[in-house]
Chains A and B, each alone.
Chain A
Amino acid sequence: MSVPGAEPERPVDPQWYKRAVFYEVLVRGFADSNGDGTGDLKGLTSKLDYLQWLGIDCVWLLPIYQSPLRDGGYDISDYFTILPEFGDLGDFVELVDEAHKRGMRVVADLVMNHTSDQHPWFQASREDPAGPYGDFYVWSDDDTRYRDARIIFVDTEKSNWTFDPVRQQYYWHRFFAHQPDLNFENPAVQEAMLAVLRFWLDLGIDGFRLDAVPYLYEEEGTNSENLPRTHEYLKRVRKEIDDLYPDRVLLAEANQWPADVVQYFGDGDECHMAFHFPLMPRIFMAVRREQRFPISESLAQTPDIPETCQWGIFLRNHDELTLEMVTDDERDYMWAEYAQDPRMKANIGIRRRLAPLLDNSRDQMELFTALLLSLPGSPVLYYGDEIGMGDNIWLGDRDGVRTPMQWTPDRNAGFSNCDPGRLYLPVIMDPLYGYQGLNVEAQMRTSTSLLHWTRRMIETRKRHPTFGCGSFTELGASNPSVLAFVREFGDDRVLCVNNLSRFPQPVELDLRRYEGVVPVEMLGGMHFPRIGELPYLLTLPGHGFYWFTLPTPRDEG
Chain B
Amino acid sequence: MTSDAEGDVIAQLADLLREWLPKQRWFAGKDREARSIRVVSRRDLAISAVDSDDAGPTLLHLILDIDGTVYQILIGVRPELPAQLDHALVGHLEGFGMLYDATHDQTIMRQILVWIRDDVALDGVTFRPEPGAAIDVDAPSLVLVGEQSNTSVVYGEHAILKLFRILAPGTNPDLEITRALTEIGNPHVAAVRGWIEAPLEGVPTTLGVLQEFLRNGSDGWALALTSVRDLFAEGDLHAGEVGGDFAAESERLGIATADVHLALAQALPTSVAASRAVSELVASMRARLAAAASSVPNLQPHAAAIDSVFDALASSQEPLQLQRVHGDYHLGQVMRTEAGWVLLDFEGEPGAPIEERAALSSPLRDVAGMLRSFDYASRYLLADHPGAPQLEYRATEWADRNRDAFCVGYAKAAGRDPREEHLLLRAFQLDKAVYEVVYEARNRPGWVHIPLGSIERLLAA
Contact = CB atoms under 8 A, between A and B. Distances in A.
Interface of A: 287-293, 296-297, 299-300, 333, 336-337, 340-343, 474-481, 501-503, 510, 512-513, 533-534
11 contacts: A287-B243, A289-B245, A290-B229, A290-B243, A293-B223, A300-B338, A342-B240, A342-B241, A477-B218, A512-B156, A513-B157
A513 B339 CA distance: 23
Contacts of A474: 216, 338
Contacts of B241: 341-343
B226 interface: yes
B223 A291 contact: yes
Contact of B336 (A293, A341, A475, A510): A293
Contacts of B249: 293
Contact of B251 (A299, A336, A502, A533): A336
Contacts of A501: 226, 229-230
- Top 4 nearest A-B pairs (CB, nearest first) are A288-B243, A480-B218, A300-B338, A476-B216
B222 A479 contact: yes
B188 to A, nearest CB: 15
B243 A291 contact: no
Given A297-B338, A340-B247, 7 more contacts: A289-B243, A293-B336, A341-B241, A480-B218, A480-B223, A510-B215, A512-B140
A296 B226 contact: no
A336 B336 CA distance: 17
Nearest to B230: A290
Given A291-B218, A479-B222, A340 B157 contact: no
Contact of A481 (B214, B215, B226): B226
Interface of B: 84, 140, 142, 154, 156-157, 214-218, 222-223, 226-227, 229-230, 233, 240-241, 243-245, 247-249, 251-252, 336, 338-339
A475 B217 CA distance: 10
Dominant SS among interface residues on chain B? mixed
Given A296-B338, A300-B338, A510-B157, A476 B243 contact: no
B382 to A, nearest CB: 17
A297 B341 CA distance: 12
A533 B248 contact: no
A503 B140 contact: no
Contacts of A475: 215-216
Given A291-B226, A297-B338, A480-B223, A340 B245 contact: yes
Most B CB within 10 A of own CB, among A341, A474, A534: A341
Most B CB within 10 A of own CB, among A290, A333, A474, A513: A290
Given A340-B247, A474-B216, A476-B215, A290 B226 contact: yes
A299 B339 CA distance: 11
Most A CB within 10 A of own CB, among B217, B240, B245, B248: B248
A336 B252 CA distance: 10
B248 A336 contact: yes
Nearest to A300: B338
A478 B226 CA distance: 13
Contacts of B142: 510, 512, 533-534
Contacts of B226: 289-291, 480-481, 501
A439 to B, nearest CB: 31
Contact of B243 (A297, A343, A503, A513): A343
Contacts of A297: 338-339
B339 A300 contact: yes
A480 B245 contact: no
Contacts of B230: 290, 501-502
Contacts of B248: 333, 336-337, 340
Nearest to A334: B248
B397 to A, nearest CB: 14
A455 B157 CA distance: 36
A471 B152 CA distance: 30
B245 to A, nearest CB: 6
B101 to A, nearest CB: 15
Contacts of A341: 240-241, 243, 245
A328 to B, nearest CB: 16
A336 B250 CA distance: 11
A533 B227 CA distance: 31
B229 to A, nearest CB: 7
A480 B247 contact: no
Nearest to A284: B243
B311 to A, nearest CB: 39
Contacts of A336: 248, 251-252
A333 B251 CA distance: 11
A476 B229 contact: no
Given A480-B222, A503-B229, A510-B157, A289 B216 contact: no
A502 B217 CA distance: 21
B177 to A, nearest CB: 24
